[in-house]
Amino acid sequence: MSDTGVIDWGLAARTGARLAPRGPKTSRYTADAALRELADASVRAEGPVREVTGLADGLPVPAARVLDRPEWIAAASESMRHLVSDSDGDDSSFLGGKPGGVQAGAMLAFLSTAILGQYDPFTGPDGTLLLVAPNIVSVERSLRLRPSDFRLWVCLHEVTHRVQFSSSPWLAGYMKDNVTTLQGGADEPLADVVGRLAAAVRSRGQDGGDGGIIGLLRATQAPAQQEALDRLLVLGTLLEGHADHVMDAVGPAVVPSVSAIRKAFDARRTRKQNPVQRVIRALLGMDAKMAQYVRGKAFVDAVVGQVGMERFNTVWTDADTLPLLSEIEAPEKWTQRVLG
């Protein structure tokens, strides 16, 4: 049973491991070579990322974990256990933990085929950089990319996240605090939630307001939860956009085929999915995450282009220097408010 909320995360990990599709077929030699190269690339990426960003100078470089899909599911389950734990409640009943664990496991099984890597700030003393080897190999094969370049390119993105969090230790707590606020609305009367959702749907029909799963999710929240969701969305947009900016700023001196990788990867992000995949991606927020890369990179590109990276780094000072939701689309407003 679970002692960390309505989801039995141990069951989620076991369920996800059983449901996750096998990765691409590789020989033992090829698999071992990919493991070694990814581990090496995660270290080599640190220097260029620190040079471009001006962050994390002098901090240690922890080793990355190179995982298969079941191992990533186990790691993600443990991270979620830390992120959403709530010691004030006891939701360890069979009807609470078990069904939630099965549902979460199915979700993680689907995600385990799409995640190339991630930085987990919630486990280990210095966080943990995770790289999912079979997915990286699968993408480089399907897009016919140079493996060594693509592996380093992926590591540049994920190492940027490690640098963001390690140079700004308050970020992990800020993220967890906002997730806790979101959880705080879970006991709200269902009638109130349904009422806000119905009003939001009517409003969209009348004025053509913002649609999509994130818009509807936000509409179901009470004001405090709406604000927390907005803060998390803005933070995610900033983190992903900054990482994409850094990948491109590093340039061909580090990744010779970076232009070809960017072109192929952007085409992959926008290609059509079958109807079932589109529904699943929408429900899991994956399409919203794709939009975060584009909007976030445009914000970072604009601010760095105007004031340079050193002044842009003011954004990492504290919660008050993060962009507001309205400033993501209008970077000059953030510059005026924060930099004066």
- The residue type of 179 is V
Tokens of 211: 């649609």
Instruction: Let me know if residue 207 belongs to a domain.
Output: no
Per the domain annotation, does 211 fall within a domain? Answer: no
Q: For residue range 160-213, what is the model confidence (pLDDT) as tens digits?
A: 999 999 999 999 999 999 988 877 755 554 444 344 344 444 444 444 444 444
Q: What is the pLDDT of residue 274?
A: 54
User: CA–CA separation, 128 vs 120, rounded Å?
Assistant: 5
Query: Is there a domain that residue 276 lies in?
Result: yes
At 226 the pLDDT is 83
Cα distances (Å, whole numbers) of residue 314 to 165, 320, 330: 14, 10, 17
Q: Is residue 213 part of a domain?
A: no
User: Residue 238 domain-assigned?
Assistant: yes
Is the residue at 27 inside a domain?
A: yes
pLDDT computed for residue 290 by the predictor: 57
Q: Could you read off the pLDDT of 242-285 as tens digits, one per residue?
A: 999 999 899 888 999 998 998 898 887 666 555 545 545 454 45
Instruction: Output the pLDDT for position 266.
Output: 80
CA 59 to CA 196: how far, in whole Å?
47
Give the pLDDT of residue 7. 82
The DSSP string of 206-236 is: HH----HHHHHHHHTS-HHHHHHHHHHHHHH
Residue 197 lies in a domain: no
Do residues 189 and 82 lie in contact, with contact meaning Cβ atoms separated by under 8 Å? no
**How many domains is the chain built from?**
1
Is-contact 252 261, C-beta < 8 A?
A: no
Range of the domain at 103: 9-185+221-339
- Which stretches of the chain score pLDDT less than 50? 1-4, 87-96, 189-213, 276, 279, 281, 283-284, 286
Report yes or no: 134 and 68 within 8 Å, Cβ to Cβ.
Answer: yes
Find the angle CA(320)-CA(185)-CA(198) to the nearest 5 degrees. Answer: 105
CB-based contact 254:48 (threshold 8 Å): yes
pLDDT number for residue 288: 55
Residue 163 lies in a domain: yes
What pLDDT score was predicted for residue 332?
A: 97
Show the tokens assigned to 87.
């010691």
Q: How many residues does the chain have?
A: 340
Backbone Cα Rg of the chain: 20
Give the DSSP letter string of 92-127.
-SHHHHHHHHHHHHHHHHHHTTT--EEEETTSSTT-
